[in-house]
Homo-oligomer: A and B are copies of this chain.
Amino acid sequence: MEFRTVARGADSRARAGIIETTHGPIETPVFMPVGTQATVKTLSPEELEAAGVQVVVANSYHLYLRPGPALIEKAGGLHRFMGWPRPILTDSGGFQVFSLSDLRSIDDEGVTFRSHLDGSKHLFTPESVVEIQVRLGADIIMAFDECVPYPASYEYARRSTELTLDWAQRCRAEWEKASAALENPPALFGIVQGSTYADLRRQCAERLVELELPGYAIGGLYVGESKSQSAEVIDEVAGMLPDDKPRYVMGTGLPEDLIDNVARGIDMFDCVLPTRNGRTGTLFTSRGKVVVKNAIYAEDFSPLDPECDCYACRHFTRAYLRHLFSAGEILAPRMASLHNVTFFTALMRKARQAIVEGRFVEWSRQAMTRWSSQNELTEVEH
């Protein structure tokens, strides 16, 4: 994997870059939809490509449990298994081990947990998690970390950050070993943790940078802390991460968060928001959120988003989509997801264009004004 910056915001820390991978380039800033179980919910690879998706995020925890790395390896790797020819990033499963599984116990070795599917007992270590991701055949793999819940005491966060740092070193060693045997080794990204404690975040970033990894993520955010708290962490950490490596804020979903974080010099984002909210009938549009199930759309024969040219917006009206949701038809979550994913990828493409043209701050101000102009919701499920 290689990364280079092609343009910088004259008026912000925003930057436009390219990540070159074995499965093609990723132009940044980029939004990566989540395909937890080797499928971006409701959508086909063909639709993802049409939506402008450059890279999808799959999940090591889920795929390890079902169908298992052995099966995916036999299938020729995750790209062939899921029919997705472009880059794939796999999450390490750290977040899922802590949020989904039962009876977990953490020690220096790793995490012992029970599957949320069948209660079977498993051990994830930094080494095994790297091995799983290598077997899946991802282009970018993530270090195993503990995602600290919010709020956390300083002492808990301090010890957890130490563990994450120790695990990052072990991931690096395992990744180096595995890479030696591979023609096209994946790139390993480290994850900065440290809860909302500035000194822990700084220490974590500093020591991860010393590991000279191909890229860096900021994790453990958007888990309940305030907007200003996450903003402070990202501001602080982004400034410490190497300029010549991609920076990835994990789990951010709202358009305003994406735009703010691009301004802070972040290159990569992932979130389930476009697909999860799409499935429940919330559309992200150029004029704000539209809860299409609402009665006011019953006779609204305008497109989902008049400024979008996705298949759903070109062919269907809000009235039809509302009917499909009322009738419980699968085409409804499909089309809402397709539109939302298109909206998010287009948002980042427009941000990139604005950076290249040296007008990012102006563009982002306009985009935010229009985004807020018709917003129906004040809170969205994260």
Contacts and interface: CB of A to CB of B under 8 A. Distances in A.
A311 B74 contact: no
A264 B350 CA distance: 60
A373 B333 CA distance: 38
Contact of A311 (B44, B62, B317, B320): B44
A330 B42 contact: yes
A83 interface: yes
B44 A331 contact: yes
A327 interface: yes
User: How many chain copies?
Assistant: 2
Nearest to A312: B44
A66 interface: yes
Interface string A324-345: 1011011101110000000000
A329 B74 contact: no
Interface string A291-332: 000000011010000000001000111011001101101110
Contacts of A311: 44, 46
A45 interface: yes
Interface stretch (A33-41, A98-106, A145-153, A239-247): A33-41
B320 A82 contact: yes
A368 interface: no
A17 to B, nearest CB: 30
Contacts of A41: 329-331
B319 A71 contact: yes
Contact of A75 (B38, B45, B76, B301): B301
B327 A66 contact: yes
A230 to B, nearest CB: 31
A81 interface: yes
A39 B62 CA distance: 32
A67 interface: yes
A331 B71 contact: no
A38 B322 CA distance: 12
Interface of A: 37-39, 41-46, 62, 66-67, 71, 74-76, 81-83, 298-299, 301, 311, 315-317, 319-320, 323-324, 326-327, 329-331, 333-335
Given A45-B315, A75-B301, 13 more contacts: A38-B323, A42-B330, A42-B331, A42-B334, A44-B334, A46-B315, A74-B301, A75-B319, A81-B319, A81-B320, A81-B323, A83-B315, A334-B334
26 contacts: A37-B329, A38-B320, A38-B323, A39-B324, A39-B327, A41-B329, A41-B330, A42-B330, A42-B331, A44-B311, A44-B331, A44-B334, A44-B335, A45-B315, A46-B315, A62-B327, A67-B319, A67-B326, A71-B298, A71-B299, A71-B319, A81-B317, A81-B320, A81-B323, A330-B330, A330-B333
